[in-house]
Amino acid sequence: MSGSYSGVLKATAGVSEKNLYLESYGCQMNFSDSEIVASVMADMGYGVTDELERADVVMINTCSIRENAEQKVRARLQHFRSLKRQKPSLVIGVLGCMAERLKSKLLDQEQLVDLVVGPDAYKDLPGLLEQVQGGQQAVNVLLSREETYADIAPVRLGSNGVTAFVTIMRGCDNMCSFCVVPFTRGRERSRDPQSIVAECLELWQNGYREVTLLGQNVDSYRWKYSQEGPQNSGSESGEIRFSELLQLVAEISPDLRVRFSTSHPKDITDEVLHTMAQYQNLCKNIHLPVQSGSTTVLARMNRTYDRAWYLERVDAIRRILPDCAITTDVISGFCGETEAEHQETLTLMEAVRFDSAYMFAYSERPGTLAARKYPDDVPEETKKRRLSEIMALQDRHSVERNGQEEGQIQEILIEGYSKKSKEDFCGRNSRNKMVVFGAVPGISFGQTVSVRILRSNKATLIGECLVESEVEL
């Protein structure tokens, strides 16, 4: 899945005789996986804690997409190891993508951890922990063709009680040359739609008002009903595609907001866009990673589309969903990138004018096709200079796109207080833009309110909440 979250998710405090301290790094999928882990550990009698000194088990759920993420995790593991010297019974574990890729280094060479568990092995945690507590190291990084964790109810960590992630598929069949995900998360497999709808319905009944459907490539979601199994009345073909899944979730309630991430330019269909247009509660934002504006670079990246195809998909979004926000990922300095190819990325950005973007300099990942086939030959200073140019251009576009929303009255789902002040609420509009506005007595988290946008910057819209009589119908 594209996009990255640099923050750390810590498990919310709980009361239990045994305590788990959990940190997550990377994409939304890692954060969602941590909620699966917390559920498995809860069945073993572990509560979650945000106080490291109370922990009996410490786990890091990791990202292997970029080198700096791995360096950050190593630093944390070294800190945990120093704590273990004072508390020898402390169990240190690494989960997720980095666990799969660096299992031998973490266990044997560096001896930083006791436990290594890959993304498809979380159900094995009881047996693996028993091994560790018996004085052995434990590891399971085997990948699965079937595991979706559909039968596990996640523990909502760090929850605001308003928004939640729901994983609809795991793994990835796209072999982008720069990416480790197919090697660390395995082949693509979709979760059955009944369990997805049931989880979303339960969230709605428990007071949640927004769900984000997660997958490495949601547009390739596909569930085929067997002749022996139950049939779905919503699909004459007996097969549920992503557009039909969106419809099923949207129809839980018109007041349940639905988002999704991430789309792939080669797979996003007009059917998905028309479904989004049909249902008001399907939020109007699409994350469509481009990575490069150059057809030749895209070919080296093995993205399986070219510049023209990407721009055609953007045109379809603009035509079918005129108010839809489009965000993206961009990599600067990929193997062999020339100055002319870099300029093509800038001209594509000018043509699309993304609402926001995740932007990174290329970081070679061992084991990928790019690492085996192409030299990482763009000098670091060139990568950084090109990245600066990309970021400066995107800042200008973000300011421009956000400025176009000034004066609008928008429906905002209140997620909590703003980071800077408890005198202000914050929440997102349908286009996934954060809106900050003055807190209003009698209004609480989880409510949807009308807000007039007064001003903006590159990251945030600032507004005022309107009482019912002020709303222009």
Assigned token pair, 55: 């922990």
The predicted pLDDT at position 31 comes to 87
- Classify residue 407 by burial, with Cβ atoms within 10 Å: 0-12, 13-18, 19+: exposed
Quick check: 471 pLDDT over 70? Answer: no
pLDDT tens, position by position, 179-212: 988 888 889 999 999 999 999 999 999 999 999 9
Quick check: 65 pLDDT over 60? Answer: no
The predicted pLDDT at position 45 comes to 94
Quick check: 3 pLDDT over 60? Answer: no
pLDDT tens, position by position, 426-435: 999 999 999 9
**Residue with the larger pLDDT of the pair 106 and 374:** 374
Query: How far is Cα 131 from Cα 128, in angstroms, rounded to an integer?
Result: 5
Quick check: 404 pLDDT over 80? Answer: yes
- Classify residue 14 by burial, with Cβ atoms within 10 Å: 0-12, 13-18, 19+: middle
DSSP per residue over 158-204, as a string? Answer: T--SSEEEEE-EE------TT--HHHHH-S-EEPPHHHHHHHHHHHH
Query: How far is Cα 369 from Cα 391, in angstroms, rounded to an integer?
Result: 27
Domain with CATH 3.30.750.200 in the chain: 287-404
Quick check: 227 pLDDT over 50? Answer: no
Q: What is the mean pLDDT of residues 37-58?
A: 94
* Residue for token pair 């549920």: 240
Buried/exposed code over 170-206 (b: 16+ C-beta within 10 A; e: otherwise): bbbebebbbbbbbbbbbebbbbbbebbbebbeebbee
Of 129, 68, 69, 120, the residue nearest 96 (C-alpha): 120
Quick check: 367 pLDDT over 90? Answer: no
Of all helices (H) and strands (E), which one includes residue 272? helix 270-278
Mean per-residue pLDDT over the chain, rounded = 90
CATH number of 287-404: 3.30.750.200
The predicted pLDDT at position 12 comes to 43
Q: Do 138 and 129 contact (CB within 8 A), yes or no?
A: yes
Binning pLDDT at 50, 70 and 90, where does residue 75 land? Answer: confident
Choose the CATH number for 5-140 among 3.20.10.10, 3.30.70.100, 3.40.50.12160, 3.40.50.2300.
3.40.50.12160
DSSP per residue over 423-440, as a string? Answer: TEEEEE-TT--EEEEE--
**Residue with the larger pLDDT of the pair 169 and 225:** 169
Phi, psi of 180 (to 5 degrees): -95, -10
Binning pLDDT at 50, 70 and 90, where does residue 110 land? Answer: low
The predicted pLDDT at position 473 comes to 37
Q: What is the mean pLDDT of residues 417-442?
A: 96
Tell me the residue type at 146: E
pLDDT tens, position by position, 275-303: 999 999 999 999 999 999 999 999 999 99
Q: What is the mean pLDDT of residues 379-408?
A: 98
Domain with CATH 2.40.50.140 in the chain: 409-470
Assigned token pair, 38: 């917390």
The 210-214 sheet, strands edge to edge: 163-167, 210-214, 257-261
Quick check: 4 pLDDT over 70? Answer: no
Domain with CATH 3.30.750.210 in the chain: 160-224+239-283
**Topology of 160-224+239-283 in CATH?**
Transcription Regulator spoIIAA (3.30.750)
The predicted pLDDT at position 68 comes to 67
Quick check: 40 pLDDT over 80? Answer: yes
Whether the bond between 262 and the residue before it is cis, its omega within 30 degrees of 0, is yes
The predicted pLDDT at position 8 comes to 43
Neighbours of 108 (CB within 10 A): 9
Choose the CATH number for 409-470 among 2.30.30.90, 2.40.128.120, 2.30.110.10, 2.40.50.140.
2.40.50.140
Q: What is the mean pLDDT of residues 305-318?
A: 98
Binning pLDDT at 50, 70 and 90, where does residue 25 land? Answer: confident
Quick check: 329 pLDDT over 50? Answer: yes
